Structure 1
């Protein structure tokens, strides 16, 4: 028996002891089809049913593999309704492969409800790891990876997006976001306004695909690069943003609400004077406070 056969036997044996099949969570390519692992290919070929976010897109992948499979559509709008069908298939002893359109399922993709319910029912859930856009972007961004916070997609509307960014402004961990092409420039405008012009940013576009591109530098510079590139607003984006510098974040070491201080003083004084006063009061860098004050003033004027 091969190592692969032993693995399959052990997993299947544990599941069929209760008469149930196994739910495999299969990572698929985010662009380059060669990134599909051999194990993922075997699981897809052997599965009794493929549960797919978009059956048309997954059908293209299966065709590339030379595999014909029954598929069940499961997406954001029908996931809860699909749970009984999925559990019934698994309880009947069938092995299912859950895939998203691209990358690792459940990472800003559907599947959470199904996985949770399957585990609650005592059904084996087995990850088949592989491509993931956020990990790929982090690995090549050149920003700290010892701590990072994945925030998925920011809200579609500007007010909600800015509120979300404001809540993350003091976060010291590297921040990772996904964004769509039709909102990328607006999102960068909001990051610039809330986080400041100099915060370090890496934007990864079309990862693993023919036109893969990285834009890196201060937020203002990256925004200008994308605005000047006619192809830059096409494709899928991952944004990797350096976390807040403790010495220039919105709260001082003593816990003072520096933003509130800036706003109160700006109601009476010029921005340059405000930055100088708050720098003397908190020990924070005057230049960083000046940039932050400008960002706050700009946000309030819109």
Structure 2
């Protein structure tokens, strides 16, 4: 039974996020065979098409003209046209225009064929070493400091692995905000310039990531970043004796949290995580 009578097809076509060799055979065949390609930036998409000797009609489809162009594309699809939707890089609609067009396709019963392909968020996640069983994607963090801090604070006890995008201009400030709002010991991973020449994926506790990224300006002055934050983990309550608390409290008056935990754990042979949890729970005291 054909559910889509007398209409065209909208193909959602992922494109490489850096390395042009990541394009799929199916994506290339689709870009060759469709009647036209809707893209964010004609000049940018032409680089890809010329590399693979593909010639086709290109029209701009971006956040500014998405509403009007969606209506125009729907009319073409109603006529039976086959159209490919691409973004500048990666999978369309993930922080890119296309939502309104897809919604209208469903409304007018127009067939949609999504192709699998590159996505920076998923590529970074699988290489992060953090849990991939449950995760949430939050997109770009707010550019305004207070809004960014408020969002991070609201996610402080999110148990799923969290994925964010961040620009090179705010990466240092964002790590500082993660330390202040989520915690200096929360494990985070930064994946920068994925699939490109200067690709690097590195993770550690938030406060150590801040010092690491500041060591070399090449770690923060190029490209886009994916930030992955480990989900909140509840620790079981552990009985900590008054003797241990006294040792820790005395050390904390003259040493950093990290040093106090390390020395106390060695003296009393207690797990460092238990002491960290005690310190966090009793922060106000």
TM bucket (normalised to shorter chain) is 0.7 to 0.9
Alpha-carbon distance in 2 for matches of 1:20, 1:198:
54
SS at match of 1:134: helix
Decide whether the 8 Å contact of 2:235 with 2:277 is kept in 1: no
Q: Secondary structure at the match of 2:219?
A: coil
Residues 174 and 243, structure 1, Cα contact 8 Å, conserved in 2? yes
Partner SS, residue 239 of structure 1: strand
Q: How does 1:209-228 map to 2 (within 5 A)?
A: 209-228=196-215
- The match for 1:172 among 153, 159, 169 is 159
Aligned to 2:180: 193
CA distance in 1, matches of 2:210, 2:281: 18
Tell me which residue corresponds to 1:28.
15
Q: Are the aligned partners of 2:9 and 2:81 in contact in 1 as well (CA < 8 Å)?
A: yes
Tell whether the 8 Å contact from 1:196 to 1:292 is kept in structure 2 after alignment: no
Q: Structure 1 CA distance, aligned partners of 2:37 and 2:282?
A: 53
How many residue pairs match? The answer is 251
Query: In the alignment, which residue of structure 2 is the partner of 1:287?
Result: 276
- The SS at the match of 1:125 is strand
Aligned counterpart, 1:261: none
Specify the alignment match of 2:97 in structure 1. Answer: 110
Q: Which residue of 2 aligns with 1:280?
A: none
Listed one character per residue, the Cα deviations across residues 124-144 of structure 1 (whole Å, up to 9, x for unaligned) are: 000011111011001111100
- Following superposition of structure 1 onto structure 2, how do residues 146-295 of structure 1 map, counting pairs within 5 Å? 146-233=133-220, 234-247=222-235, 287-288=276-277, 290-291=279-280
Q: Which residue of 1 aligns with 2:117?
A: 130
Aligned residue for 1:152, secondary structure, equals strand
Q: TM-score, normalised by structure 2?
A: 0.83
CA contact 1:26–1:97 (8 Å) conserved in 2: yes
Aligned partners of 2:282, 2:153: CA distance in 1, in Å?
Answer: 14
Task: Tell me the residue number matched to 1:142.
Answer: 129
Which position in structure 2 is the counterpart of 1:41? 28
Structure 1 residue ranges, 4+ long, deviating more than 2 angstroms after superposition: 284-294
- 1:19 deviates by 1.8
Is the alpha carbon distance of 1:14 and 1:101 closer, same or farther for their aligned partners in structure 2, counting shifts above 3 Å?
farther
Q: Deviation at 1:174?
A: 0.3
Deviations 1:98-139 (A, max 9, x none): 001100011111111111111111000000111110110011
Q: Deviations over 1:64-100 (max 9, x none)?
A: 1111111111111221121111101111111000001
Superposition CA RMSD, Å: 2.3
CA distance 1:93–1:139, change in 2 (3 Å)? same
Alignment gaps of 5+ in structure 1 = 1-12, 253-271, 274-283, 297-302
Greater helix fraction, Structure 1 or Structure 2: 1
